[in-house]
Each structure stands twice: as C-alpha cells, then as structure tokens.
Amino acid sequence: MSETMGPAAANPTERLLKEELGDRVLAASESHGDLAVEIRPEALLAAARLLKEHPALDYCYLMDIAAVDHLGQDPRFAVLYNFYSLRHGHRVRIRVRVPEDAPVLDSLYSLWPAADWFEREAWDLMGVQFRGHPRLVRILTHPEFVGHALRKDYHSAERHRLSRTYDLFLEEKAGAPPAE
C-alpha cells in the first residue's frame, strides 16, 4: 500500500509557516510548480522544527541543501533546503539568505542527520557555516584547500597542492604508534 497521497492534496505549508513565524517569513512563491518559502535566517531552526513535527506537515525527509552565491547582491548567499513529506507527498523549498560578513546558519543535524554531509558540502564549496554541526570540515576538497570553489569570485584556474602527507585520522584514538 502506498504511504503517499500524491501532490494533489492542498499544501498547508505556507499557511502554517506564516502562522508560526509571522513576519519572519519574507516571501512565498509557487513557480514552476515548486513551493518556495523565504524566511529570515534566525527563524531557520524554528521553521525546520515545525516542518518536521507538525502532523499536517510531517516533512520527514531533508532531501537536499543547495548553497548559492548571488555575488553583488546583499545578502550575498542563499541556502536552499528541500524537504519532502512521505505521508502527504508535499514538497517545500526553504530559502534563507545570509550576508557575506557572517555567513552562519543553524545546523539542522539535530533534526535530520541527513544534514551532515550536505552542510559540510555547503561549507566546503561555498563557505557557509553551520552552528552546531558536529564536525564541520571540508568534504570534497582536501584540508589545505584555500577558499571555497563554488563562489563566483573563486577563479577556477587556482591550484592548491597538498604540502605533506597526512597520517590516518584515527591513529591517535586507537593508541597505536604513529606511522613512520
């Protein structure tokens, strides 16, 4: 038996978010059939909790986190969160804008462990930081990489080479002698 009811049923997400967050919801639009709601960055955790825990919403899936660099605009960065509700078949995209001088957001790791690598990727490639992430380190580039490759002002001809070899991370924890 299917657990989903398809996208046809009316989606109460926009209404409930506005009720909960008030003027912290900045805009809501439905373009190309996608519901997108823009909220203030400090409301992210409250919005995420509502999306996950309200029975009429029940967004059990955090599908994707996409960071975007709108160079020349203020605030400069946008982070798009894609949620999906298995029970209701609804989708919503939450958009949050953060400024260049403080690109910091609350981590959603405590609500969805799925945020783990998606947030690390947004940090690695776009330089957006996530408060409360258990281990916010680079994921696709190496530890000596300088800058954030997907920013519009990152020049793709730049090269960063590793200066040395690295020991195994977990060697120390294991109490084994370091490799020679």
Partner 1 sequence: MTTITTPPMTPTAPERMVVNIGPQHPATHGTFRIECVLEGERIIESRTEIGYLHRCFEKMSETHDYWGVIPYTDRLNYCSPMINGVGYAMAVEKLLGITIPKRAQYIRVILSELSRIMDHMVCVGTSLVDLGAITNFWYSFRAREVIYDLLEACCGSRLTVSYVRIGGLAADLPPGWVEHCRKLIRKDIPQAISELDKLNLKNPIFRLRGQGVGVMPRERAIAWGWTGPCARASGVDYDVRRDIPYYDYDQFDWIVPVEQGGDVFSRYQVRMEEMRQSLRIIEQYLDHLPGGPVIVDDRRIALPPKNEVYTNIEALMAHFKLIMHGILPPPGEVYSCVEGGNGELGFTIISDGTRKPYRVKVRPPCFAVFQAFDEMLRGIVIADVVAILGSLNIIAGELDR
Q: Where on the chain is the footprint of partner 1 (CB under 8 A)?
A: 1-4, 6-7, 31-34, 36, 60-64, 66-69, 80, 82, 86, 89, 91, 93, 112-114, 116-118, 121, 125, 138-142, 149-150, 156, 168-171, 173-176
Q: How far is the CB of 2 from partner 1 (least distance, A)?
A: 6
Q: How far is the CB of 103 from partner 1 (least distance, A)?
A: 16
* Cα–Cα distance measured from residue 45 to residue 50, given in angstroms and rounded to the nearest whole number: 9
* Cα–Cα distance measured from residue 167 to residue 9, given in angstroms and rounded to the nearest whole number: 54
Upstream peptide bond of 134 is cis (omega within 30 degrees of 0): no
Q: How far is the CB of 40 from partner 1 (least distance, A)?
A: 19
Q: What share of the chain is helix, strand, coil (3-state, %, to 5)?
A: 25, 25, 55
Nearer Cβ to partner 1 (22/177): 177
Helical H runs in the chain?
A: 13-21, 44-53, 115-126, 171-174
Nearer Cβ to partner 1 (156/163): 156
Nearer Cβ to partner 1 (22/74): 74
Q: How far is the CB of 33 from partner 1 (least distance, A)?
A: 8
Sheet containing 61-69, strands listed edge to edge, beginning at the edge strand earlier in sequence? 25-31, 34-39, 91-98, 77-84, 61-69
Nearer Cβ to partner 1 (104/176): 176
